[in-house]
Every structure is written in structure tokens, then in C-alpha cells.
Copies of this chain bind each other. A is one copy, B any other.
Amino acid sequence: MKYPTTIQNLIECFKKLPGVGEKTAERYALAALELDDNIIELFSKSLTDVKTKIGRCKICNNLAEEEICEICKIKDRDRKTLCIVDSPKNVVIFEKLGIYNGLYHVLDGLISPLDGKNPEDIKLNLLFERINNENISEIILALKPGIEGETTSLYIKKMLENKQLKISKIAHGIPIGIDMEYIDSLTLELALEDRTNIS
């Protein structure tokens, strides 16, 4: 004897979400019972829609409802600068910041030989194609810090070394407002290495 089948099904579905266990799923399912009809309708519709309507931008591989994503469509963005990110989520993070006016390229992962992820498994070829065909002058690498991010950055740098391109990577260092003693040694090392002249 558990919940009625419909609720049990809903609990099982919630459990497929990251970090959601039995108790949280139960809580969500019971909360869903109390949601307004129009919210439930939108919820149910959005779930099927994300699977059917959302694809990838054929230029930058960002999430898109049409062939080209909302960002690539904007005419007055700086089309000579590409910010390389590993997931569509990071595009949104940069866009919320509102200070970057170039375009993006979403790799969908990082090179990680240990996990069997080779350069051809992420959208690197699409990136190199873009660089060959479009008039791009700067590449900003904004990949997740760590071994995989570094490997991917190095690979991209190597593949592009004979192009006339400015390649930069976002700074890694101490975040604002964090006590130095809580910073891991790798970050501290990078912060020291990437020190900037202020004199």
C-alpha cells in the first residue's frame, strides 16, 4: 500500500531529477496536488515542449527554439568575438551579467580522456569550422576550471595557433569576499600566476 498509482508515477518522475530522492519527490508530488490548474497545465505542456521544441542553434550550439538561437539572431552584437563555454547554462550566466556583447560557442562538455570524452565528442569541429568561415578575431575561453577545462583550453589553443586570432581565458583567482584561508591551493596558485600589474 502506497500512494495511488498516479501520485506514485509522479513521484517516480520527480526522482529522475538531479538530487531528488524519495522524500523530496513525495513532497513535490503532494505539492503538485495543490497547484492551480493553469500552472499544472503549463507545467505539463512545458515538459513535453522542451523535448519537442528545444533544439540547438546551428551556429553556436546554444539551446534554441528555432534554427538560430536568440543571441545569434541579434544583429548588433560583436560578431568577431566568441566566448567558448561548456554548457548552455553558462551562456545564461554571462547574459544575466549583461556586459558581454559578443557571440558564444557551446561545446557541450569538456575533453576528458578518463571518461572517454575525446575532442570529437564535443562541438569542437563546429567551432573550428566557424573560425574558418566567419570573420572572428578573438576567442575567450570560459571553461569550467579544473583539469578537464585546462585540457580543453590547451587543445583549442594548440589547434588555433597558426590562425591570426587573439585567444584569452577568463581569470581564475580569489573570489570577492572570501577569506583567503578557505581558498584551495590550485586557485591560489592560479591567482598568483595570473597576477596583474597595478603600479
Q: Which residues of A contact B (CB under 8 A)?
A: 1-7, 9-10, 12-13, 16-20, 26-33, 35, 37, 39-51, 53-54, 63-65, 69-71, 74, 87-89, 92, 95-96
CB contact between A95 and one of B2, B40, B70 (< 8 Å): that residue: B2
The verdict on A63 contacting B18 (CB below 8 Å), with A10-B43, A32-B50 known, is no
Contact yes or no, B10 A35, CB < 8 A: no
Copies of the polypeptide in the assembly? 2
The answer to whether A33 touches B51, judged by C-beta atoms less than 8 angstroms apart, is yes
The 7 A-B pairs with the shortest beta carbon distances in the complex, nearest first, are: A13-B43, A10-B46, A1-B95, A9-B46, A44-B47, A4-B65, A6-B49
Taking a contact as CB atoms under 8 Å apart, the answer to whether B16 and A54 are in contact is no
Q: Chain B residues near A48 (CB, 8 Å)?
A: 40-41, 44
Q: Which residues of B contact A69 (CB under 8 A)?
A: 4
B-chain residues with CB within 8 Å of residue A87 when the two chains form the complex: 30
For A2, A3, A63, which residue has the most chain B Cβ atoms within 10 angstroms? A3
**Residue ID in chain B nearest A96 by CB atoms:** B2
A33 — which chain B residues lie within 8 A by C-beta?
Answer: 50-51, 54, 63
Question: How far, in Å, is A64 (CB) from chain B's closest CB?
Answer: 6
Complex contacts, A2 vs chain B, CB 8 Å: 92, 95-96
Nearest CB on B from A10, distance (A): 4
Is B47 in contact with A43, judged by CB distance below 8 angstroms?
A: yes
Q: A181 CA to B50 CA in the complex, in Å?
A: 50
Contact residues in B for A41 (Cβ distance below 8 Å): 48
What is the minimal beta-carbon distance from A51 to any residue of chain B, in angstroms? 5
A16 to B37, CA, bound (A): 13
Asked if A28 contacts B18 (CB within 8 A), the reply is: yes
Interface pair A54/B6, CB less than 8 Å apart? yes
